[in-house]
Structure 1
Amino acid sequence: MAQTIDIANPTRTQAILNEYGLRAKKKFGQNFLTDLNVLHNIVETAEITAEDYVIEIGPGIGALTEQLARSAKKVLAFEIDSQMVEVLADTLKPYDNVKVIENDVLKVDLAKVISEEFGDNAHVKIVANLPYYITTPILIQLLRSNINWDNIVVMMQREVADRLNAAVGTKSYGVLTLTIQYFAQATLAVKVPASSFNPSPNVDSAVVKLTPLKPTTVVENVGKLFGVIKGSFSHRRKSLWNNMLQTYGKDAGTKEQLTVALKSAQIDPAIRAERLNLEQFTQLYLALRDQNLTQ
């Protein structure tokens, strides 16, 4: 089934780029991975088996897709670049277990697509070499979407990877960190130098594995919980109180409600959001909800 020469082989990658007159498009954050060892590590990290259904985001010319197809039952790849979709029709021709969908993964109903393409109760794994400029929105959407997944293995900018497990009070700690903590356990699997790509980006990358977790405190509306968290971080250098006034209002009645909520959650109004852990944010959300302030 496999091609004689892997798509990720540097010589073949360049030949494909030349054949189609391709150049990495900055607007899509494209860099073509040409390190087979890294690709094999990604597949091994995701523990892909013949029973697994895989969703890939941003397949490019198909280097990772090819490796996934050799191990998985079926691969569903979302590609936003119409030119790449045409290339993939050629490079992935030997693999009948791959389907490419030309669409922005942020605009699709993943739960519906998974049900239609994989059926119910499928073992779904999500694998991607994420464009740097859109890593955070994609991760947050994947985690907050109503889908069941066995693991998520994604390559991202090393700086973003460091934010996933950032400690409370550090510069890297923020909304993304808390989103990860609520839904998953993050493990740094592979460090990837810039030299593994064509063209080489200006930064190093990392492969991260996310394993699903059950939240310590389950809330009935996760979107509203993270609305509270996002508002609290709207201006990192401002106090929690000032950010809450900006979010909820500055009239006397609202100030009184906020004061009651903060006291109930046992949180100092003068603290900055970066000093609060997930459990404290959860208690703050519940207290704000009781004051009818959550948006």
Structure 2
Amino acid sequence: MKDIAKKANTMYLLEKYNMKATKKFGQNFLIDLNVVQKIVDCTSIDQQTCVIEIGPGIGALTEQLSYRAGHVVSYEIDIRLKDVLNESLQECTNVEVIFQDFLTVDLKQVVHHYKQHYSKVCIVANLPYYITSDILEHIIISQADIDSIHVMVQKEVALKLTDASYHSPLTFMIEGIGQASLDMTISKNVFSPAPRVDSAILSIMMEKTYNPLLTKILKQAFTQKRKTIYNNLKGLFLENTEKILNECGIDLKTRPEQLTIEDYQKLTHYL
């Protein structure tokens, strides 16, 4: 089927297979072809790119990605969509759909495999809102040789993750691997069913090698945001906490969100 994202085509497929979006998987189906094409424009993918897609749904974004990319591998957790995708993507010969929870995928191994055939590997996805942070963390800590990430998330989340004054474990993780940008906003009215909030495309250019120890430091540092960095890190560094913070030039009374990515990178050396 061509142009799956057209409202009439989406409704046809959903009705034919008696499909309804489920809250369990955070499903909202895109019904605006123009918006889907603009999302693909944000990615700068080409025939030398392998795209890893998370949650293809009924294939609206998958189809448009297949026209630009050399290969698309889509991970879908909802096995109810098997028959739908077999029909909707039957003409997309460069698409491979794998029914597996993306959070269980050995991403480093998968990317290594596709890097032998394609010069770039990018992740593109319309992420379920409830699991956005888990998926981004899974990608970052995998240490997979990914070139870029382009994901649709809640607009509010995208604004926070690209706000230089907002700090959380995830913003520091992103800073530790590359640079994030908000590329476009998307109205809630181009989905069926319509979510309660607008969305945005968040892009992360993967420019550095990630140190997984950074995640361990960040999780511990933000255990209780209102406590000082000293109190939070005592659970990790024990009696050496004061000495380590002093050696890193970090004030013991500083709050975790007041530190810089450089401070946290210094702390990783002590693990």
State the TM bucket, normalised to the shorter chain.
Answer: over 0.9
| Whole-angstrom distance in 1 between the partners of 2:56 and 2:184 | 19
Where do 1:29-40 residues align within 5 Å? 29-40=26-37
The answer to whether 1:279 aligns with 2:262 is yes
Specify the SS of the correspondent of 2:149.
strand
1:94 deviates by: 1.0
For 2:12, the aligned partner's letter is: A
The residue number in structure 2 matching 1:28 is: 25
The residue number in structure 2 matching 1:11 is: 8
The residue number in structure 1 matching 2:229 is: 240
| Whole-angstrom distance in 1 between the partners of 2:72 and 2:115 | 10
Q: Is the 8 A contact 2:129 2:153 kept in 1?
A: yes
| Whole-angstrom distance in 1 between the partners of 2:74 and 2:43 | 16
The residue number in structure 1 matching 2:244 is: 261
Question: Gaps (5+ residues) in structure 2?
Answer: none
Q: Is the 8 A contact 1:182 1:213 kept in 2?
A: no
| Whole-angstrom distance in 2 between the partners of 1:125 and 1:231 | 30
The residue number in structure 2 matching 1:156 is: 153
| Whole-angstrom distance in 2 between the partners of 1:12 and 1:144 | 38
Distance 1:266 1:114, change over 3 A: closer
| Whole-angstrom distance in 1 between the partners of 2:9 and 2:52 | 24
| Whole-angstrom distance in 2 between the partners of 1:35 and 1:274 | 39
The residue number in structure 2 matching 1:45 is: 42
Distance 1:267 1:64, change over 3 A: same
Where do 1:51-130 residues align within 5 Å? 51-116=48-113, 119=116, 122-130=119-127
For 1:232, the aligned partner's letter is: A
1:100 deviates by: 0.2
Residue identity (%): 40
Specify the SS of the correspondent of 1:126.
strand
1:33 deviates by: 0.9
Specify the SS of the correspondent of 2:152.
strand
Q: Deviations over 1:181-233 (max 9, x none)?
A: 11111111110111111001111110012112236xx8xxx222221111111
1:115 deviates by: 4.1
Which of residues 166, 191, 197 in structure 2 aligns to 1:203?
197
Where do 1:112-191 residues align within 5 Å? 112-116=109-113, 119=116, 122-168=119-165, 170=166, 173-191=167-185
Specify the SS of the correspondent of 1:70.
helix
The residue number in structure 2 matching 1:194 is: 188
1:268 deviates by: 1.3
1:148 deviates by: 1.7
1:167 deviates by: 2.7
Specify the SS of the correspondent of 2:41.
helix
Q: Deviations over 1:229-285 (max 9, x none)?
A: 11111111111122123x237xxxx33x11111111111111110111101111233
| Whole-angstrom distance in 2 between the partners of 1:268 and 1:112 | 40
Distance 1:35 1:111, change over 3 A: same
Q: Is the 8 A contact 1:163 1:176 kept in 2?
A: no
1:113 deviates by: 2.5
Q: Is the 8 A contact 1:158 1:204 kept in 2?
A: yes
TM-score, structure 1 as length reference: 0.87
Comparing 46-55 with 185-194, which one deviates more in the overlay? 46-55
RMSD between aligned alpha carbons?
Answer: 1.7
For 2:42, the aligned partner's letter is: T
